[in-house]
Amino acid sequence: MRITKIKIKNLFGIKEVELNSESVEAIGTNGAGKSSIIDAIKFGLTNQSNRPYLIKQGEDEGEILIETDTGLSINRKARTQKGNYNLIKDGENKVSSPESFLRDIFTELQLSPVEFLNWTAQEQNRIILDLIEYPWSMDTIKKWFGEIVQDVDYSKSILEILNQIQSEKGYYYRTRQDVNRQARDKKANIEEIGGDIPTNYNVEAWEKYNLADIYTQIERIRKSNSEIEKAQRAIENRDNKVRAFEADKEIALAAFDREVTAYQTRIEKDVASLEEQLRGKKAELTGIEEKKQTKIKLIEAEYREKVAKYDAEVEQYQEYADKEIRDFSTLQSEAKQAEGMKLHITEYRRMQRLEEERIELMQRADILTSKIELARKLPGEILKTAKLPIENLTVVDGIPMIQKKTGEVLPIGNLSDGEKLDICVDITIAKPNHLQIILLDGIEKLSDINRKHLYDKCKAKEIQFIATRTTDDTELIIAEL
């Protein structure tokens, strides 16, 4: 598709310029209006401009008209008094989605090839990747990865998108690092917990172990042993108790006897001095003997009562007296061990949960790895069917590479300025339905050799170019080449 007419009027400081299908070089000093021609054509093709004022000072309307040999017509008018006018027709038919339609008939490289030389390697790679044609949609991403991957600029080319997905800065790589870190932390926790748990620890058995039951058994044995010991002590002490009771009796009798003897002595003295009371005193002596016998009987009764009462107490222990004391030290040791083992249950279960979580994390890391590998593999698959803008282009790890005639494969950034400009020309002619035009603003930035090579290649490929070159001429000169 070739441009047959370009008309610029009252736009970007230009009074009026009209060009045909010939290649031209606009020359003049700074401010003569050279770049305005390029900017006006870019405005016509893109409906965009970085300039704050579009219309020539003093005018109400500025216009750009571009026509091609296929019947395409682009007419834009910038207005001050009313809305801008845009009419894009393909033959007799008005184009319904003009900006989208126009984006498909030229590339960014055609509009800025000289600026392309000074772009960063990243910017140069982006524009080349954007030119690779491969049909895809967000459903394609979902089909490949099962989701819309986060932290990706989906306005880029599919190869750049895949490069972002597999990148070390990408969501999958960063997430995998985080997952692996969590897995390592859990493994360290598991090893720390496991170091405190006995070897061959059977958590299910110790969870079922009834510690309360064994302590009940121990308490029963302890109580039984206590009763046996108490019974044995009671029986063993019976004779001692009886002897103590007997001693109490003898002491009481001796005390009473001494008391009686002393009393008799006093009476006898009284008898000697009190003969007149002899008869009464003798009668009193007779009563004392009777009281003595009564007291003796009472003491004897108390003695028998105490013995009987104690024997009754001993009798209740008789059933234990013949039993043997049981050793429960084994049960005690078992209970102590069980108690210690049960202390590990909570930590053991936590260790099991951590291991399950660690396994899940490793599985997730494997999935992320597979997605990263898929993002690395897909460009090779895409390039098998994708339509490349030039034949000697390939892509390695998301970076466009050019195979030179020598067989050497280099990234775009490693090419010379002349080789980069060749790419711009090759891309322009790669699609016959594209506008066959290149805008070369600031061509004086190229060496004479590179400029001549570029002009000659455009002429040989029948590509129209519009170049601007700064000279000392005060007036704008448009020279056909």
Per-residue model confidence as pLDDT tens digits over 358-408? 999 999 999 999 999 999 888 888 888 887 777 788 887 778 888 887 888
Domain residue spans of the chain: 3-106+435-480, 137-201+344-386, 206-331
CATH architecture of the domain with range 3-106+435-480:
3-Layer(aba) Sandwich (3.40)
Higher pLDDT, 242 or 362: 362
Which phi and psi (to 5°) does residue 10 adopt?
50, 40
Nearest residue to 66 via CA among 39, 96, 88: 88
Report percent pLDDT > 70 for the chain: 97
270 pLDDT above the threshold of 80: no
Look at residue 247 in the predicted model and tell me its pLDDT.
83
Q: Is the pLDDT of residue 135 over 80?
A: yes
What tens digit of pLDDT does each residue of 169-180 get?
A: 999 999 999 999
pLDDT (average), residues 84-99: 90
Of the candidates 454, 453, 452, 449, the one whose C-alpha atom is nearest the C-alpha of residue 439 is 454
**Exposed e or buried b per residue across 101-125, where buried means at least 16 C-beta atoms within 10 angstroms of its C-beta:** ebeebbbbbbbbbbbbbebeeeebb
Average pLDDT, the chain: 86
Integer distance in angstroms from the first to the last C-alpha of the chain? 20
Please state the rounded mean pLDDT for residues 73-93: 91
Residue 280's pLDDT band, with cuts at 50, 70 and 90, is low
pLDDT greater than 70 at residue 275: no
Is the per-residue pLDDT at 284 higher than 70?
A: no
Residue 243 has pLDDT above 90, yes or no: no
Which pLDDT value is given to residue 389? 75
The predicted pLDDT at position 87 comes to: 92
pLDDT tops 70 at residue 95: yes
According to the model, what pLDDT value does residue 450 have?
Answer: 87
Strands 72-79 and 61-68: antiparallel
The model's pTM is 0.56
Q: Is the pLDDT of residue 251 over 90?
A: no
Question: Angle at which helices 329-342 and 211-236 pack, to 10 degrees?
Answer: 150
- Reply yes or no on whether the pLDDT at 281 is more than 70: no
- Structure confidence at residue 394 (pLDDT): 81
In single-letter form, the type of residue at position 338 comes to A
Which range, of 187-196, 266-275, 415-424, averages the lowest pLDDT? 266-275
Lowest-pLDDT range of 145-149, 210-214, 424-428: 424-428
